[in-house]
Amino acid sequence: MGEFTTTIERRLDQAYQGLREARTAGDDYLADTLTAEIEDLRRLADDHGIPLPC
């Protein structure tokens, strides 16, 4: 697994964790921001052929 793939996966893990925390705290703005980041990271992974779980 390359460094790029590892970085994408790590950033996704962090974004998903932050999203869970934001939702728990009721922070809708942060949740929306993290959702957009997750979408961007997933799109980037797809563009580079990085397989991700659904």
- The tens place of each residue's pLDDT in the chain, 54 residues long, gives 699 999 999 999 999 999 999 999 999 999 999 999 999 999 999 999 999 987
Q: Where are the domains of the chain?
A: 3-47
Question: What's the pTM value of the predicted model, to 2 decimals?
Answer: 0.90
Alpha carbon 46 to its chain centroid, in Å, reads: 13
Distance, CA of 18 to CA of 51 (rounded, Å): 22
Q: Which two tokens stand for residue 3?
A: 């460094």
